[in-house]
Amino acid sequence: MKRIVAWSAYPTVMMAAFVAHVLCTHNGVTPQIATFGPILCGCLVITFLELKFPHRRAWLADRGDVINDSSYMLLVQIVLPQFFGFFAVITLLGALQTRGMTLEGVWPHAWPVYFQALLLMVTADFMRYWVHRLAHEWPPLWRLHAIHHSPHKLYWINVGRFHPLEKLIQYLFDALPFIVLGVSEEVLALYFVFYGLNGFFQHCNIELKIGFLNYLISGPELHRWHHSALSEESNCNYGNNLIIWDLLFGTWFLPRNRLVGDLGLENRNYPSGFMQQMSSPFTRDLDKVT
Ligand SMILES: [Zn+2]
């Protein structure tokens, strides 16, 4: 049973979410509900699978983890428009377009919606790849990004653990340009169904196998290495949705003969609480052993 779930959970949940999204869209459901409804249903399935078929029992979240990660999920993601911010994007898009504040003729609006969503994913991922890689290679940005790498375990809800300032930087590169280009809400919504659910799967603690998709999608098998406590292992697999840019730029990493060791930062006592982490990036070398 565990093996069947391992191979079928990802494609089944993703396909079901897309079908639900398309059916809702074609039956007059609002874009917000058509987008977040399938994502929230997917979260429930992922939570159930984490409890029933965990990749590592030791990675199951305890009460403190859930409280801190929920704080990130609810407060940071709402305050800074990255996750729920797409609500604002979808709502503001019409207002921007009526004021002529979009760049006409740059984005291929005439393409089929699915091709536009694919183009959006490839280009947004290209920018996120370099923002993410810079966050690992440039110390001032790493101090912000270290928060995302601070947990010693992975489970779906800690995908939202980002400092608000880093969220803002990500938003400037992977969302704002496409709003200015006037990408339609239909395309953004389609993209966001994948973005949301793949992000949860990427961090999930489910025993999952995605096979050849490890050469296309940035999924959990690759992303676990990105959270390794060893920097030579974590400085890889930067892809947000896709892994193609890592393959192209030589940072794809997936050892076949062993499992990842410890996760997290060199400093095993790096603060883990939500309020403490708001100020953590302003202490130099806090992620290192002193
Ligand atoms: Zn990272």
pLDDT, position 84? 47
CA 139 to ligand 1 centroid distance, Å: 13
Q: Please, what is the average pLDDT of the chain?
A: 88
**pLDDT, greater one: 283 or 89:** 283
CA 38 to ligand 1 centroid distance, Å: 27
What ranges do the domains of the chain cover? Answer: 2-282
The fraction of the chain above a pLDDT of 70, given in percent, is 90
User: How many Å apart are CA 85 and CA 76, to the nearest integer?
Assistant: 10
Checking if the pLDDT of 241 tops 70, the result is yes
Checking if the pLDDT of 78 tops 70, the result is no
The answer to whether the predicted template modeling score (pTM) of the entire model surpasses 0.85 is yes
CA 226 to ligand 1 centroid distance, Å: 6
Euclidean distance between the first and the last CA atom of the chain, given in angstroms as a whole number: 46
Average the pLDDT over each of 48-52, 84-88, 128-132 and give the range with the smallest value: 84-88
Residue 206's DSSP bridge partners are 54
CA 136 to ligand 1 centroid distance, Å: 6
CA 228 to ligand 1 centroid distance, Å: 10
Please count the CA atoms within 13 angstroms of the CA of 285 that sit on its side-chain side.
3
Task: Read off the pLDDT of residues 221-240 as tens digits, 9 standing for 90 and up.
Answer: 999 999 999 999 999 999 99
CA 179 to ligand 1 centroid distance, Å: 25
pLDDT, position 90? 62
CA 235 to ligand 1 centroid distance, Å: 7
CA 94 to ligand 1 centroid distance, Å: 34
Average the pLDDT over each of 161-175, 188-202, 212-226, 252-266 and give the range with the smallest value: 161-175
The fraction of the chain above a pLDDT of 90, given in percent, is 55
CA 81 to ligand 1 centroid distance, Å: 20
CA dihedral 279, 283, 284, 287 (to 10 degrees): -70
CA 145 to ligand 1 centroid distance, Å: 7
CA 240 to ligand 1 centroid distance, Å: 10
Q: Which amino acid makes up residue 134?
A: L
Task: Give Cα separations from 172 to 31, 169, 180, 286 (angstroms).
Answer: 23, 5, 11, 26
